[in-house]
Amino acid sequence: MTGVYAAKPWLALYGEGQPASITPEHDTLLAVFEATLAATPDAVAIRYFDGTLTFADLDTASDALALGLLEGGFSAGDRMGLYVQNDPAFVIGLLGAWKAGGSAVAINPMNKSAELTYLLTDSGATALLCLDELYTSVAAGVLPETSVTTVVTCSGLDHQTRADPRLFEGTTKTTPEGTVDLAGLVERYAGQQPPPVQLSGSDVGVLTYTSGTTGRPKGAMNTHSTMVFNAYTYREWMHLGPDDVVLGVAPLFHITGLIGHVAIAMLVGCPLVIAHRFQPDVVLEAIREHRPTFTVGAIAVFIALGNAAGAVREDFASLRAVYSGGAPIAPAVTDQLEEKLGVYVHNIYGLTETNSPSHGVPMGVKAPVDENSGALSVGVPVYDTVVRVLGEDGEEVPVGEVGSSPPPVRRWCRATGSGPRPPRSPSPAASCAPGTSASWTPRAGSSWSTARRT
C-alpha cells in the first residue's frame, strides 16, 4: 500500500479518543456471552414487551436447547436454521446452536416455501428453530425435501403476557405434531448443561444470506472472530456500555440486527429491546417504556417512527446514538428527522458479505454531501479497514481523480467464502471479489468514503 492510502488520512476524522486499531479480548461470540454471564448473570439481557430475560435466563434456555439438539442427533459442525421474528428465541437459538458445537442459519421469517426450501437445502441445515405458526403454514410442507431431522418450535407469545393485538390478534401457542416445544425443553433439562465445546474464531458462527438482487441468495459464512470484531467496532465507535439500552428495530436475521443489536448487547451486557416485528406504534410504545439509548436501522424505520400517531420529540429523548444504513440518505431527510426526533441520524455502511460496518460517520459529526449524487457520505473507514481508489488498470489513482469502479477495502477480518462441510457447502457469497456496486463515485484522496471491503 502506497501514497495517500498508506497515511490513512481518514484517521484524522475519527472522534476524540477513538483508537486507530482495536484488538478484541475474545475469539468467539459464545465466549463473549460467557464473559458477560460470569460478570453480570442477573443483568437484563432482553426486554420483550412486558417480559424480561436475564443473561442467566438465556444461559439456562440455550443449555436446554443445546441438549435437545444433541439428543436429536445434532453434532459438531451441523447447522440449525432460525426461522423466527425478533423474538427471544432468536438469541436463544444462536447460543444453543453454538453450545451444541454448530452454527446458525439466519432465515427471513417472510420467506415462503420456495425460499425456505432453497436456504435449508443450500445450507445443509439438519435442525430448525421455528415459530409454530410458520411451521404450520410453511415449513411443514418443505422439510421432507431437506436434511432437517429436528424441529423445535416456539411462539411469539413466549416470554411475555401482553399479547398486543396489533401483532398477535388471533395468535395461539401450539406445538405441531412432529416438533418439540422450546419451552418444554427448558422444563425437561432444567439444571442440566451440555458438554463443553471447543469453538475457535475461525469457525462459522452464522450463515447470513444475501438478498439475491444479482441472482440466487448466497450464504455469507460469518466467522466468530469477524462477528466479535464488529461487535467491538460498535462498542468503540458508538461509545456503548452496560448502562446503554439497545433498540432492536432491524430484523435480527439481517446482518445489521445480528451485529448491531444482538452481538453488541451481548458484549457490553446491556438490555436488547425487541418487539416481534416492526410496527411503528408498537415500537414507539416500547421506546417510551424502555428508554433505549442506541439503535441502528433502515432510514424508513426512523421516518415511520417520526410519523407515528402521537409521536412527539420527547419520546425519543433517551436516544443518544442513532445510525442508519442500507440506502442512500438525502440531507433533507436527516434534517427533518433531527427536527422530529431531536437526534442526528448518522450514516453507516457495510454488506452482508462483510459482516456489518466497514464505514461509519463518527459520533457527533454530520456527514458531508456527495457532490455527484446529492446523498450523504457513508462516512470513513472504521478500525483496521483500508480503502483504496483504483483506475481501470487496477492501480491507485492520484488524489482528486475519480476511480473506475467502487474502491476495494481491506480489513483485519471478514466473512469467509465457502468451505468444505458435508453434505454440501452453501453457495459462497462473493466476499473476496472487488467491484461490487456502490452508491457513490469513488474519488481518490477523499477521506469521506463510499467504498466497500474486499
The model's pLDDT over 144-194, given as tens digits with 9 standing for 90+, comes to 999 999 999 999 999 999 999 999 999 999 999 999 999 999 999 999 999
Query: What is the distance between the alpha carbons of residues 109 and 253, in angstroms, rounded to a whole number?
Result: 8
The model's pLDDT over 412-444, given as tens digits with 9 standing for 90+, comes to 444 444 333 333 445 444 332 222 222 233 333
Query: What is the distance between the alpha carbons of residues 221 and 230, in angstroms, rounded to a whole number?
Result: 15
Query: What is the distance between the alpha carbons of residues 447 and 449, in angstroms, rounded to a whole number?
Result: 6
Name the pLDDT band for 407 (thresholds 50, 70, 90).
low
Q: Which three cell numbers stand for residue 79?
A: 447447522
**What φ, ψ does residue 321 adopt, rounded to 5°?**
-140, 115
Which ranges of 294-413 does DSSP label H, i.e. alpha helix? 299-306, 331-341
Q: What is the largest CA-CA distance in the chain?
A: 66
Best CA proximity match to 63, nearest among 32, 96, 28: 96
pLDDT at 59 over 80: yes
How confident is the model at residue 448, as a pLDDT?
A: 43
Query: What is the distance between the alpha carbons of residues 2 and 143, in angstroms, rounded to a whole number?
Result: 53
pLDDT at 445 over 50: no
pLDDT at 95 over 60: yes
Contacts of 444 (CB under 8 A, 6+ apart): 4, 389, 396, 397, 398, 399, 400, 401, 402, 403
pTM for the structure as a whole: 0.90
The model's pLDDT over 346-397, given as tens digits with 9 standing for 90+, comes to 999 988 888 889 999 999 999 999 888 899 999 999 999 888 788 888 888 8
Query: What is the distance between the alpha carbons of residues 405 and 395, in angstroms, rounded to a whole number?
Result: 12
- Compare 47 and 448 and report the one with higher pLDDT: 47
Q: Is the Cβ–Cβ distance between 413 and 332 less than 8 Å?
A: no
Among 64-73, 103-112, 399-408, name the one with the lowest average pLDDT. Answer: 399-408
Best CA proximity match to 102, nearest among 180, 190, 189, 194: 194
The model's pLDDT over 296-350, given as tens digits with 9 standing for 90+, comes to 999 999 999 999 999 999 999 999 999 999 888 999 999 999 999 999 999 999 8
- Count of CB atoms within 10 A of residue 383's CB? 22
Instruction: Catalogue the E-assigned strands of 355-449.
Output: 356-360, 380-381, 385-387, 409-411
Question: Mean pLDDT across the chain, nearest whole number?
Answer: 88
Mean pLDDT for 247-256 is 97
Q: Which three cell numbers stand for residue 235?
A: 462498542
Q: Is the Cβ–Cβ distance between 81 and 125 less than 8 Å?
A: yes
- Compare 437 and 197 and report the one with higher pLDDT: 197
